């Protein structure tokens, strides 16, 4: 699984997007945006790596765990330090507006990711040092159920927190676009925010186990129109500059979205080589027209947006 990043909203700091620069319309929205940013920062920094570690591990380990007889032993990955996430969430949970359900979800995420960190470090050391050659995979077998349980707890907490943030971010995004249009008109900030909103809608309808081709085609058309409008505005308003890297990322995501739509529409199967890449653990982004590539290119768009789409 590739973790979707969150973009920033007007004042906020993407998986989904993080929150962007600019003053929100209402004080409560501003405060909520700041609160969400702490949670978004954790998800954007830690979740993708945690899921990649799981993919890496299960690319060579069976459901029952390692045996020591595997042809290739890749080990797993570690995740980044979780202490900053823990402290920022503790602070954010005390900020207004208070939201018990959201704060509980954020705390549960912290508990899960903090528990996962040392376990992945222990497993990574074990496999990278090839200690399984000395104990006949005894520790690897003992670690397996602990890793599975930790990843399960993490995935559940991650999903719950994302869902809670999604609802609030959608509300703030619409509010921000309305505010921008009323105060600035349809200029650079309006085009950037509207494009990100359409991109998020598109990744949602395509990133599903049961794709609705009619809905995908409709949402894809809306995103393409917004991308074209944003590029046209950028070309015609050089003094109100929208970064070229943002435009390029937006168009790359559009191309990948079309490739995935065509694969669904035309029922195009993956080749043997593509299947090998998809099953290798962490390499799905290299296959054109795959959900993994869609997530990768959407995350690249979010990164471009969060770095500052306008400069």
Average pLDDT over residues 243-261: 96
28: confidence class by pLDDT, cuts 50, 70, 90: low
The mean pLDDT value of the chain amounts to 88
| DSSP track, 140-196 | HHHHHHHHHHHHHHHHHHHHHHHHHHHHHHHHHHHHHHHHHHHHH-SSHHHHHHHHH
Residue-level pLDDT at 265? 94
5: confidence class by pLDDT, cuts 50, 70, 90: low
Average pLDDT over residues 257-282: 87
Average pLDDT over residues 112-135: 98
Residue-level pLDDT at 21? 31
12: confidence class by pLDDT, cuts 50, 70, 90: very low
Domain's final residue, options 125, 159, 185: 185
| Lowest mean pLDDT segment, chosen from 14-23, 52-61, 157-166 | 14-23
Domain that holds residue 278: 186-311
Residue-level pLDDT at 172? 85
Domain's final residue, options 142, 159, 185: 185
pLDDT reading at 11 higher than 80: no
Domain's final residue, options 185, 217, 243: 185
**pLDDT over 70, % of the chain:** 89
Average pLDDT over residues 72-88: 96
Whether residue 311 is found in the same domain as residue 168 = no
Per-residue three-class SS string for 28-96 = HHHHHHHHHHHHHHHHHHHHHHHHHHHHHHHCCCCCCCCCCCCCCCCCCCCCCCCHHHHHHHHHHCCCC
pLDDT tens for 256-266 read 999 999 999 99
Whether residue 36 is found in the same domain as residue 166 = yes
**273-278-280-283 Cα dihedral, nearest 10 degrees:** 110
Number of structural domains found in the chain = 2
pLDDT tens for 173-207 read 888 899 999 999 999 999 999 999 999 999 989 98
Whether residue 116 is found in the same domain as residue 180 = yes
Whether residue 122 is found in the same domain as residue 156 = yes
Whether residue 270 is found in the same domain as residue 177 = no
């Amino acid at each position: 699984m590739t973790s979707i990043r969150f973009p920033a909203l007007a004042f906020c700091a993407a998986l989904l997007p993080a929150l962007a620069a600019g003053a929100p319309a209402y004080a409560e929205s501003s405060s909520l945006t700041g609160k969400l940013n702490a949670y978004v920062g954790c998800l954007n920094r830690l979740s993708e790596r945690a899921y990649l570690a799981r993919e890496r591990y299960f690319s060579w380990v069976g459901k029952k765990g390692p045996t020591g007889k595997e042809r290739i032993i890749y080990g797993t990955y570690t995740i980044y330090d979780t202490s900053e996430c823990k402290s920022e969430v503790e602070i954010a949970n005390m900020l207004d507006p208070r939201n018990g359900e959201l704060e509980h979800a954020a705390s549960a995420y912290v508990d899960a990711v903090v528990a996962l960190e040392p376990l992945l470090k222990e497993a990574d050391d074990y496999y990278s040092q090839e200690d399984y050659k000395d104990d006949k995979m005894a520790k690897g077998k003992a670690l397996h159920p602990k890793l599975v349980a930790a990843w399960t707890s993490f995935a559940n907490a991650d999903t719950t927190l994302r869902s809670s943030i999604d609802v609030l971010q959608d509300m703030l995004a619409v509010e921000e676009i309305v505010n921008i249009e009323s105060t600035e008109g349809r200029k650079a900030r309006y085009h950037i925010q509207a494009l990100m909103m359409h991109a998020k809608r598109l990744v949602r309808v395509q990133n599903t186990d049961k794709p609705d081709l009619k809905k995908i085609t409709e949402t894809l058309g809306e995103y393409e129109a917004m991308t074209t409008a944003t590029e046209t505005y950028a070309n015609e308003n050089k003094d109100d500059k929208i970064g070229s890297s943002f435009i390029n990322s937006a168009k790359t995501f559009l191309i990948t979205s079309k490739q995935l739509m065509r694969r669904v529409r035309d029922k195009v199967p993956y080749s043997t080589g593509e299947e090998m890449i998809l099953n290798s653990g962490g390499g799905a982004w290299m296959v054109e027209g795959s959900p993994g590539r869609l997530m990768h290119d959407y995350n690249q768009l979010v990164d471009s947006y969060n770095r500052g789409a306008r400069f």
